[in-house]
C-alpha cells in the first residue's frame, strides 16, 4: 500500500509538471505575439528582441516536457534504476540555454555602448513601453507559479524553466528601462541594464547547472536530512542503534542504504519485520526517497551488557 501511494505521488507530480508546461506554452505564445506587434507598431528594436526571447521560452518548455516524460519511464533491463536522471539532463540543457541568453543580452549591450551598434533609432512609441510593463508582470507571475510547482514535485527541470521565466522578466525590465530612457533622451540606460541583467541570468544558469550535476553524480543528502532519517529509524521498536547510513541523489529522487542493529537472538522473521518497518518509515516520512535498503546487524550479548 505504501508503494502504491509513492507511485501515485510520482504520477501526480508528472501531471502537475505537464499542466504547468502547457500553461507556460500558451501564455508565452500569446505574450510573444503581443510584444512582437507592440515592437513593430512602436518602432522598438528592444521590444522585438524581447518578443523573440519570450518565443524561445516555448522551446525550453518543450525540453522540460520531454525531460519529465523520459524521467517517468519505468525501469527496464538496461536501466534497472529507472530514468530519473533524464530530468537532470533537461535541467543542464536549460541552464545552457539560459546562459546563452544572458551572454547574448550582455554582448548586445556592450556593442551598443562601444558604438558598434550605435545607429540613431526612432523614439519608441508608448505601446512598446506598455508591452514591457505587461511582460514584467506576466513573466514574474509565471516565475512564481512555475517555481511553486517545481518545489512541490522537487523537479530541477521545472525549476530551471521557472528561472527562464525570470530571465524573460529581467529582459523586459531592461527593455522597459531602455524604451523609457530613449523616450526621455537617455538611450544609454538600455545597454547598461542589459549588462546587469546578463550577470543575474548567468548566476541563475550556473546555480541550475551545478544542481543538475550534483544530482547526476550521486551527491548525498544534506546532514539535517540524514540526521532526521536516523531519528525516524531509531523510533522503530527493536532498533538498537544505527551502524551506518548512506544516501545518494538519483535525479530528483533519493536512494537510502541503512544498516541497523537489532537483538542478536531474534528470529529471522522478527528481524525482517523490523527492517521492513524501518524501510516503510523512511519512505513514508521522506517523499523524495524512491527506495530504502535496510541491512540488519546482530547485537551480541556482550554488547548488550555493556
- Round to whole Å and give the CA distance between 65 and 15: 10
Question: What angle (nearest 5°) sits at the alpha carbon of residue 143, between those of residues 188 and 38?
Answer: 50
Query: What b/e string do you get for 8-47 counting C-beta neighbours within 10 Å, with b at 16 or more?
Result: eebeebbebbeebbeebbebbeebbebbbebbeebebbbb
What rounded mean pLDDT belongs to the chain? 79
Strands 241-250 and 253-263 come out as antiparallel
Q: Which three cell numbers stand for residue 160?
A: 530551471
**In order of start, what are the domains of the chain with their CATH numbers?**
2-216 (1.20.1510.10), 223-305 (3.30.70.1350)
Residue from 73, 62, 83, 79 nearest 157 by CA: 62
Q: What is the pLDDT of residues 104-160, one digit of tens each?
A: 877 877 876 776 454 554 577 888 889 989 999 999 999 999 999 888 877 777 887
The secondary structure element, H or E, covering residue 293 is strand 289-299
Do residues 225 and 258 touch, judged by C-beta distance below 8 A? no
Q: What is the pLDDT of residues 174-209, one digit of tens each?
A: 778 878 887 787 767 666 766 777 777 787 788 778
Do residues 48 and 133 touch, judged by C-beta distance below 8 A? no
Q: Is 288 left (phi over 0), alpha (psi -120 to 50) or beta?
A: alpha
Q: What is the mean pLDDT of residues 207-221?
A: 77
Q: What is the pLDDT of residues 90-117, one digit of tens each?
A: 778 878 887 887 788 778 778 767 764 5
Amino acid at each position: 500500500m505504501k508503494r502504491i501511494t509513492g507511485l501515485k505521488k510520482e504520477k501526480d507530480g508528472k501531471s502537475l509538471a505537464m499542466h504547468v508546461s502547457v500553461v507556460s506554452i500558451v501564455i508565452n505564445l500569446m505574450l510573444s505575439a503581443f510584444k512582437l506587434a507592440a515592437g513593430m507598431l512602436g518602432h522598438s528594436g528592444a521590444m522585438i528582441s524581447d518578443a523573440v526571447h519570450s518565443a524561445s521560452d516555448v522551446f525550453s518548455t518543450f525540453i522540460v516536457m520531454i525531460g519529465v516524460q523520459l524521467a517517468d519511464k519505468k525501469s527496464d533491463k538496461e536501466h534497472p534504476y529507472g530514468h530519473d536522471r533524464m530530468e537532470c539532463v533537461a535541467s543542464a540543457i536549460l541552464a545552457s540555454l539560459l546562459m546563452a541568453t544572458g551572454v547574448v543580452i550582455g554582448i548586445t549591450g556592450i556593442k551598443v555602448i562601444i558604438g558598434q551598434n550605435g545607429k540613431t533609432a526612432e523614439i519608441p512609441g508608448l505601446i512598446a513601453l506598455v508591452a514591457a510593463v505587461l511582460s514584467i508582470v506576466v513573466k514574474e507571475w509565471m516565475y512564481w507559479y512555475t517555481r511553486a510547482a517545481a518545489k512541490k514535485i522537487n523537479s530541477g527541470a521545472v525549476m530551471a524553466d521557472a528561472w527562464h521565466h525570470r530571465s524573460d522578466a529581467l529582459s523586459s525590465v531592461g527593455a522597459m528601462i531602455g524604451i523609457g530612457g530613449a523616450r526621455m533622451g537617455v538611450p544609454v540606460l538600455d545597454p547598461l541594464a542589459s549588462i546587469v541583467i546578463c550577470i543575474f541570468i548567468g548566476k541563475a544558469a550556473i546555480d541550475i547547472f551545478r544542481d543538475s550535476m550534483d544530482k547526476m553524480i550521486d551527491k548525498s543528502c544534506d546532514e539535517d536530512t540524514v540526521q532526521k532519517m536516523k531519528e525516524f529509524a531509531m523510533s522503530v521498536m527493536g532498533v538498537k542503534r544505527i551502524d551506518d547510513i548512506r544516501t545518494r541523489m538519483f535525479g530528483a529522487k533519493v536512494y537510502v542504504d541503512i544498516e541497523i542493529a537489532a537483538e542478536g537472538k531474534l528470529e529471522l522473521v522478527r528481524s525482517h519485520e523490523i527492517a521492513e518497518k524501518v524501510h516503510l518509515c523512511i519512505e513514508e516520512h521522506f517523499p523524495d526517497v524512491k527506495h530504502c535498503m535496510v541491512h540488519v546487524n546482530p547485537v551480541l550479548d556482550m554488547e548488550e551488557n555493556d
